[in-house]
Amino acid sequence: MCEALHKAIGKVAEEAWKAYGAEDAAETGECAEVRFVPGEKSGQKDTQPLRYVAIRIRQRQESLFADGSKVKYFAVVTNIGEWKAGRLIEWHREKAGSIEAVHDVLKNELAAGVMPSKYFGTSAAWLRLAVIARTTR
C-alpha cells in the first residue's frame, strides 16, 4: 500500500466503516469506501476511475498485533462499482482461495512448476497441457 493511499484511509470518517465477515472471529473486519486518486497517470484515456475499498482489521480484545499496532489496513482496488463493499470483499476472498488451490494442483500434481525447456514455445505447450489435464479431471 502506498503512503498516499494509507493517508486517505486514515481520513475516512468513523461512521463510514461497516462491519463485514464472521461475528465470532477473534478479529473484527470493517470496510469503507475511500476517496483516492492515484498520482500516476493511466495509459488509456477512456478508462473509468477505479474504486478503492479499505479494510480495517482490529482485535476483539483490544490487544496488539505482532508488529505492535492496534489496527491493520488493507485495500481492494476494483472496477466493479455496483456491489456493496462487504460483498465485494467476500467475492474477492472467495476468488483468491480457489485460484490458489488450482495453482497448487498445477504445480505439484501436474508438473507445471518446472518448465521442461529453455525455449518459450516448448514451455508454453507444457503449461497448456497441464492446464488441459487439470480441467478434464
CA atoms of 38 and 2, how far apart (whole Å): 9
Given this model, what pLDDT does residue 125 score? 92
Global confidence as pTM: 0.60
Which tens digits make up the pLDDT trace of 9-18? 989 999 999 8
CA atoms of 65 and 32, how far apart (whole Å): 21
* DSSP-derived 3-state class of residue 78: strand
**Is 56 exposed, middle or buried (CB count within 10 Å of its CB: 0-12, 13-18, 19+)?**
middle
Cβ atoms of 106 and 129 closer than 8 Å: no
CA atoms of 106 and 5, how far apart (whole Å): 35
Q: Mean of the per-residue pLDDT values for the chain?
A: 81
Which tens digits make up the pLDDT trace of 60-116? 776 766 777 788 888 888 888 888 888 888 888 777 666 777 788 888 888 888 888
Cβ atoms of 57 and 28 closer than 8 Å: yes
Ranges of H-type helices in the chain: 3-10, 85-108, 120-135
